[in-house]
Chain A
Amino acid sequence: MAVVEETYDVVVVGAGHAGCEAALACARLGLETIIFTVSMDSVAMMPCNPNIGGSSKGHLVREIDALGGQMGINIDKTFLQSKMLNRSKGPAVHSLRAQADKQMYSLEMRKTLQSTEHLTLRQAEVSEILVEDGCIVGAKTYSGATYHCKAVVLCTGTYLKARCLYGDVIEYTGPNGLKAANYLTDSLIKNGIEMMRFKTGTPARIDRRSIDFSKMEEQFGDERIVPFSFTTDPDSIQKEQVSCYLTYTNEKTHEIIRNNLDKSPIYAGIIEGTGPRYCPSIEDKVVKFPDKERHQLFIEPEGLYTNEMYISGMSSSMPENVQYDMYHTVPGLEHAKIVRNAYAIEYDCINANQLYATLEFKKIHGLFSGGQFNGSSGYEEAACQGLIAGINAALEVLGREQIIIDRSEGYIGVLIDDLVTKENREPYRMMTSRAEYRLLLRQDNADLRLSKIGHEVGLISDERYAWVVKKQELIAKEMDRVKHVNIGANAKVQAFLEAHGSTPLSTGVKLSDLICRPELDYDQLAELDPEREALPYDVREQVNINIKYEGYIERQVKQVEHFKKIESKKIPDNIDYDDIASLRIEARQKLSKLRPISIGQASRISGVSPADVSVLLVYLEQGKYQSND
């Protein structure tokens, strides 16, 4: 029987947030790319929360944008409400979050995929990867079609052998009742990939007409909307925003949950997968935090073309009737009508220790993966991995050197390094506390940090990059200038300081000294700075932050220098750790299993001590001299 046989450069499996970025990156770099989805209607679907960004995730979106990815542009076109979180805190933790119109987000992304040259979007289930001599050569669909290729990027999300559960109901589907992908796992196992099982969950969606919003607090967006993408003109996205609402659970809610715990598949032991602690089900919250009298719930719109409201803070896998009972105890939800039930979902994924930081499998050349398949959680975490996996797949096909964003360059680097280096026992979520150099990795400077890489890869245009370079120059020049502008202790200055609640000067200072004062900033001080030239907002913002926090920033820059040093000590591929007798056995085993690419990465593996790292350094040095002989 004749079967379909086609040839592409790259095959991307899955068209969620990771798959879309991967496929777009490959196609934009000129490679013939095909992306498979189980349903054409689920491209870039948001099966859980209806927002993009938030603490640390907002950073990821900015970084994706700076590298030439799509997520930021897509949300700027389809958001309903936007908020900069932590505005009262330091700049490192400012985080942008936007409520998305889910349907529009998906449609907009599909439109983008379908209008990108070299990119084919295809509905089909990939059931096999084809590997020859440790190299990927293609993929096969369930229908039997073969797609020859040089690289495959796996972005299967939560679809592999997925099952959804609530109460004693088990549906063998992916999210939202979409078809699960039941065959690919076996093919992966056959090719030596180790699989594991994770779990996550989502709350119910409730008909907006059945909600009494008068019993809730309305939550508005920011007055001035800041875009995600560095390419979006802020003026172009100021619009009327849709509100969210705040309400709370209460003792009655908790009582219902406690009385029905035995009916939850997690507590009944039906679910085996490991769930994330950071977005616990309401059952978990009630059990683990029995002292809390109430839990916050945010009621968020899912889109302009649906009545559905997302009940953030109340994901569950209770039986349908219990779900009704517990939602009905919440002020404003007394008469709530459920549109979609809350459910837990279990799926196959991998331990990402099997990957290099390039997101290529160590064992299979040309096979890459990204997103929830790698054991992460969240749209943004998925998208950034998809982007890196896609870029590297393309670079490999093009015979170019692959990229790794390191921990000092971006949250993306922190995320991927954690995934591929550390033991990961639950779906991994980004957090600002995971970034040790977070003062340098701000959302406001993502373009300055990463555009160079994006440009070298080929996803950032010359024109866009030229502006970043120019911006850098302007910032440096202006920082230098404010450090030399003298401010005398004259009457005008003293009056200005008094008006701004700042201590008067006893002697002359530099303008930069005043910027450092917590109650003052660069823009306010324009009054005392007649020589100042007009500069764009994003330049002024950088000058202000860099001057204000200079001491802290310098300390981190020093730490990064040290980090870079040990990161640049590469460990050769062919090292045999069993040769190094002085290494402790535990360290030898861990190193053999993980095969870190640098001394830096080795030092972050749990179970590898500083003394082991020293031994390793000595061993490498010895090798270096020997190979020079």
Chain B
Amino acid sequence: MLQSDTIAAIATYPSNSGIGIIRISGPDAISCCEQIFRSKVPLHEMSTHTISYGFIFDGEEKIDEVLVSLMRSPRSYTMEDVVEIQCHGGIFILQRILSLLFSKGVRPAEAGEFTKRAFLNGRIDLTQAESVMDLISSENEKSRKNSMSQLSGVLSKKLGDLRGKILHEVAYIESALDDPEHISLDGYSEKLSSLLEELSLELDSYIRSADDGMLLKSGIRTVIVGKPNVGKSSLLNMLSEKDRAIVTDIPGTTRDILEEKVRIGDITLHILDTAGIRETTDVVEQIGVSKAEASVEDADLILYVVDSSIPLDDNDVRIQSTLKDHSSHTIILLNKSDLNSVVSEEELRDLGVQVISVSMKDGSGVDDLKQAITTMFFHGDISSNDDLLITNERHKFLLQQAKKSLSLVQDSIALGMTEDFFAGDLMDAYESLGSIIGEAVEDDLVNEIFSKFCMGK
């Protein structure tokens, strides 16, 4: 509530524009960012108002190539240390980086919080106080509604049940501590431990569903590459026609590119750079190769199209070298034409990338592609549990918090601590879950104690 912690949020409008910015503000902004950002000169050694080039890493996995600007306190919007990460647009990447930050101790900014901090730190003129207050309350209302609408009734109930179980355990512990002569805790720790294991697994499944859910909602930024005349536009047409689901043509805002939304079953692909593909004149198709080099950096998924009847040449070598750093999210589509086949699946597989045979003529292979994308991006079968999807990053953060609290309880049990040490962390988990389903804590615990356990004199 007061500015002792560090907050972060996506600062740009959440769309599939080419560039997105994540803003981090607070005393640990620099140190937290440094844990995921690698650059030539460490961030904390940079002077204020400078920009560093580097990469975001999740452990050893390279996530994105980014520019990071640093504004040290007090010369920043909030007058705190502020770090802004400029990354490649897609919501998928933005959310992934944000999640990484959350795992390093940053918390999601509340509605209007950057502005609130700016004001409380004296950055904004007094005459604007009125509008700051309005902003906070309207943003809060918006995010509350938004957050609730993104939670299905089924999921809300499941989280409520899970929460109820936690409360019941706390109430049991507390009533035993309050009335030790009536209620015994013998052998309770083991029982609690196995229950917590169950609950953690359940939380895990929701956390995983959050990644799926957010990705399903935002779509996968996809780029189709390949040398001229291998069937890129046919592929696009095939994907579009398959479900007759071309949704919009969005003119790019920052660059001169077009984007198209295509659905394969439940999955949405944002095909980037469609201008380059749709144009049939050779001139533009030529650009395909060089454009590919630029746009693979922006993409979550790269579809590399090869025609089986056209031998691989220098262009392919060039493309393949571009894709080398992106093999984990690249799929090669081998377009089987009727003509004599000169490129084999085996040969392509040697590149260490998944290969799928498709036929642009009869549309075969699309299901395999869908399966491959599902395996690559999602956890398990995505279409069957729509109701259990978390699609909100704040919800995901809170689920992770809840899980962390439960694992602290497990630690306490393992250390042989007595039951009174469990209650605090259990209540933290309870509160985190409560914030997801929009329920305040108030006097729940005391009520539970009295209603479930017969106490006292």
A residues bordering B, Cβ < 8 Å? 48-49, 55-56, 85-86, 88-90, 92-93, 203, 277-280, 285, 288-289, 292, 295-296, 298, 312-313, 315, 422, 431-434, 436, 438-439, 518-519, 549, 552, 556, 561-562, 565-566, 569, 580-584, 599, 603, 606, 609-615, 617-619, 621-622, 625-626
Contact = CB atoms under 8 A, between A and B. Distances in A.
B137 A611 contact: yes
Contact of A278 (B111, B416, B455): B455
B418 A617 contact: no
A613 B178 CA distance: 33
B136 A614 contact: yes
B111 A85 contact: no
Contacts of B110: 610-611, 614
B4 A565 contact: yes
A433 B445 contact: yes
B155 interface: no
A568 B140 CA distance: 25
Contacts of B424: 436, 439, 556
B437 to A, nearest CB: 15
B243 interface: no
Nearest to A625: B126
A89 B456 contact: no
Nearest to B183: A296
A9 to B, nearest CB: 38
Interface in B129-146: 129-130, 132-134, 136-137, 140-141
Nearest to B448: A433
Interface of B: 1-2, 4, 110-113, 116, 119-120, 126, 129-130, 132-134, 136-137, 140-141, 170, 174, 177-182, 185, 415-421, 423-424, 440, 442-443, 445-446, 449-451, 454-457
Contacts of A285: 454
A92 B420 contact: yes
Contact of A431 (B120, B129, B141, B446): B446
Given A89-B419, A93-B420, A288-B454, A434 B177 contact: no
Nearest to A311: B457
A279 B120 contact: no
Contact of B1 (A292, A582, A603): A603
Contacts of A279: 455-457
Nearest to A518: B416
B177 A86 contact: yes
Given A582-B134, A614-B116, A289 B454 contact: yes
Given A90-B420, A438-B420, 11 more contacts: A279-B457, A433-B178, A436-B424, A518-B417, A562-B2, A566-B2, A580-B133, A581-B133, A599-B1, A614-B140, A618-B133
6 contacts: A278-B456, A431-B174, A432-B178, A439-B421, A583-B137, A614-B140
Contact of A315 (B119, B450, B457): B457
Contacts of A552: 417, 421
B174 A432 contact: yes
Contact of A295 (B116, B126, B454): B454
B421 A431 contact: no
B1 A49 contact: no
A312 B457 CA distance: 5
A618 B136 contact: yes
A627 to B, nearest CB: 12
A175 to B, nearest CB: 15
Contacts of B126: 622, 625-626
B457 A88 contact: no
A312 B130 CA distance: 59
A609 B441 CA distance: 12
B144 to A, nearest CB: 8
Given A89-B420, A611-B111, A582 B137 contact: yes
A515 B448 CA distance: 36
Contact of A296 (B120, B182, B415): B182
A99 to B, nearest CB: 13
B404 to A, nearest CB: 13
B131 to A, nearest CB: 9
Contact of B120 (A90, A93, A621): A621
Contact of A617 (B120, B443, B445, B457): B120
Contact of B129 (A277, A599, A622): A622
A88 B178 CA distance: 13
Contacts of A519: 416
A502 B408 CA distance: 23
A72 to B, nearest CB: 21
A562 B418 CA distance: 26
Given A313-B456, A432-B174, A433-B423, A88 B418 contact: yes
Given A278-B455, A315-B457, A93 B450 contact: no
A615 B119 contact: no
A156 B152 CA distance: 53
A618 B1 contact: no
Contacts of B170: 433
Contacts of A48: 457
Contacts of B112: 614
B440 A606 contact: yes
A57 to B, nearest CB: 10
Nearest to B115: A618
B178 A611 contact: no
Contacts of B137: 582-584, 611-612, 615
A149 B141 CA distance: 51
A309 to B, nearest CB: 14
Contact of A298 (B130, B181, B440, B455): B181
A240 B187 CA distance: 34
Contacts of B132: 618
Contact of A614 (B1, B178, B423, B454): B1
Given A278-B455, A606-B442, A618-B129, A89 B418 contact: yes
